Amino acid sequence: MRQGGACGRPSHHPHQVPAQATRHAGGAFRGLKGPRRLDPARVAPGEAPRPAEREGNVLRNRGVLGIGLGSLLSDTGHEVATAALPGFLRGLGAPAAALGMIEGVADAALSASKVAGGVVADRPCVERKALTAGGYVLTAAGHGAFGLATAWPAVAGARAVSWVARGGKAPARDALLSASVPPEQLGRAFGVERAMDSLGAIAGPLAAAPLIVAVGYRWLFALSVLPGLLAAAAVLALVAEAPRPVRASAAGQPGGMLSLARSPGPFRRLLAGIGLYGLGNFSATLLILRATQLLHAAGRPNDRAAAIAVLLYAAHNAANGLVAYPAGTLADRLGRRPVLVGGVALFAAACAGFAQASASLGILAALFVAVGASTGLVETAQGAHTAELLEPEVRGRGYGLIGLVEGVGDLVSSVVVGFLFTFAAPAWGFVYAAALSAAGAGVLLAERPGRIHVAHL
């Protein structure tokens, strides 16, 4: 959507909101009952008009519903493809190390694209809705192209394309979601999105198993494109583009990514706390490995131990989805930072529990559920807390920075914990994760209230 003339060129009327932008703002914020007109005269000078705030359940908000459906459908599609990928690569004759290389390339592409996506999402002439929908389409096209591959390097290229699109649209989606609700509903809005994303993560693998048997790998990858296309349609049909402020001069435009990261105040402390948490937050596959080792050492056959570990991981995903919306409600009532700190602290406690090396099935189940619940708490509160710390004009970049910090931290933590698993002892890997996460909780707990103002960047 064009505001103030060409992209990046300020309007000669800084306090005037274009009539077209005002018309576009309706619809997404009145639930399913239709739009309400905004009154530009009630908007503070230099600020974008706020969406029409509706009373009642956030689940009836068209913007939240559209973005939530997009996350559910897109996650279902790429989880179908991801679940089938190891078996497909084995059929191509790829070595075991190929899967690790593919995932490493994908994670690097995901982190880098979140930064670029954040910069693009904050450009006044870019419609965040179109960017989000386009990301869903390209993500689906990337994993659908797995079926055309005849060698594993081609799969690596397609996976990278898919993950670039997935990461690139994430800041625009989160900024769009934060603009779809009033501030007091931010936690619940992100809770709905995270819960529906988790449902997709559960539905995808469940759908993959029968599809492999029924249609084979290549047709499975082709069918995995359909949910992504439906995700894009849901966003385009249900979500309205929220207008953004038009600044009077270039000096009033938001600063760059680096200036945002360096800006003093609570957002920088949020980055530091999330960075420490990310350095301890390793891949969940290591939890499955640890559970398998413990159950096998207790006398269970290896295949049965592995099967139980996979079921424990399913409980982990279910806990994530079940906790997300209540976490959002709690964050809206008590504050986003306390819920975020609680989630990080719960992860640290669960890692300390894994370090105790108990083979009790009940204890393992409780620890898996605790890790899943901590993820639901952190992801929900983090998105809402970022929105309340940043003005709308820089939220895209803010979410991009958070994604970069998380991605780098996750990569480092998985390597370090995996190294400690192999060359020291599994318990030391969990002690490392618990210590870094506890430090992250401490940094977040010391955060002072405030908000970054665009004029300060």
Is the predicted pLDDT of residue 454 greater than 50, yes or no?
Answer: no
Whole-number pLDDT of residue 244: 64
- Amino acid making up residue 13: H
Reference 231, options 255, 270, 200; nearest CA is 200
Q: How far apart are CA 133 and CA 175, in angstroms?
A: 14
Rounded CA Rg of the chain: 22
SS3 103: helix
Pair of tokens at residue 198: 């988790």
For residue 250, name the pLDDT band (cuts at 50, 70, 90). very low
Residues whose CB falls within 8 Å of the CB of residue 118, separated by 6 or more in sequence, listed in order: 171, 257, 396, 397, 398, 399, 400, 401, 403
Look at residue 230 and tell me whether its pLDDT is greater than 50.
Answer: yes
**What φ, ψ does residue 102 adopt, rounded to 5°?**
-60, -45
113-136 average pLDDT score: 86
58-238: what fold? Growth Hormone; Chain: A; (1.20.1250)
How many C-beta neighbours within 10 Å does residue 91 have? Answer: 10
Render pLDDT for 113-122 as a digit per residue (tens, 0 to 9): 887 888 788 7
Please state which of the ranges 20-24, 280-284, 438-442 shows the lowest mean pLDDT.
20-24
Mean pLDDT of 430-446: 93
**How does residue 213 score in pLDDT terms, banded at 50, 70 and 90?**
confident
Can you tell me the distance from the alpha carbon of 179 to that of 33, in angstroms, rounded to the nearest whole number? 19
Q: Is the pLDDT of residue 412 over 90?
A: no
Q: Is the pLDDT of residue 342 over 90?
A: yes
Q: Is the dihedral of CA 396, 397, 403, 406 positive or negative?
A: negative
165, 155 in Cβ contact below 8 A? Answer: no
| pLDDT of res. 162 | 92
39: left (phi over 0), alpha (psi -120 to 50) or beta: beta
- Residue 55 carries which DSSP code? -
Most confident of 3-7, 64-68, 208-212: 64-68
Give the Cα separation of 147 and 170 in Å (integer).
25
Alpha-carbon gap, residue 308 to 289, rounded angstroms: 11
pLDDT attached to residue 297: 85
Q: What is the mean pLDDT of residues 203-216?
A: 85
DSSP secondary structure letter of residue 51: P
HSE-CB for 36 with a 13 A CA cutoff: 15
Higher pLDDT: 107 or 10? It is: 107
**CA angle (260, 344, 382) in 5-degree steps:** 40
Partnered with residue 452 across adjacent β-strands are 390
pTM over 0.85: no
Instruction: Tell me whether the CATH fold assigned to 58-238 matches the one assigned to 254-456.
Output: yes
pLDDT higher than threshold 50 for residue 50: no
Of 240 and 105, the one with more pLDDT:
240
When pLDDT is cut at 50, 70 and 90, the band that residue 74 belongs to is very high
> What per-residue confidence (pLDDT) applies to 259?
66
Q: What is the pLDDT of residue 437?
A: 94
Q: Is pLDDT at 35 greater than 50 in this prediction?
A: no
Q: What is the DSSP secondary structure assignment for residue 146, as one 8-state letter?
A: G
Q: In this predicted structure, which of 226-230, 333-337, 343-347, 444-448 has the lowest mean pLDDT?
A: 444-448
Return the percentage of the chain with pLDDT > 90, whole number. 25
Amino acid 14: pLDDT: 43
What pLDDT is attached to residue 317?
Answer: 84
pLDDT band at 378 (very low <50, low <70, confident <90, very high): very high
Report d(CA 136, CA 113) in Å as an integer. 14
For range 165-174, the mean pLDDT? 88
pLDDT surpassing 60 at residue 12: no
Residue range 183-191: mean pLDDT, rounded:
84
Contact 207, 77 (CB under 8 A): no
Contact in structure between 411 and 234 (CB atoms under 8 Å): no
User: CA 231, 310, 321, 163 torsion: positive or negative?
Assistant: negative
pLDDT band for 110, please (50, 70, 90 cuts).
confident
pLDDT for the residue 49: 42
Please check whether residue 237 is in contact with residue 133, taking contact to mean a CB–CB distance below 8 angstroms: no
Query: Highest mean pLDDT range out of 23-32, 134-143, 183-192, 235-244?
Result: 134-143
Return d(Cα 139, Cα 74) in angstroms, integer.
Answer: 8
Domain-wise residue ranges, the chain: 58-238, 254-456
CATH topology classification for 254-456: Growth Hormone; Chain: A; (1.20.1250)
CA-to-CA distance for 414 and 100, rounded, in angstroms? 12
Mean pLDDT of all residues belonging to the chain = 78
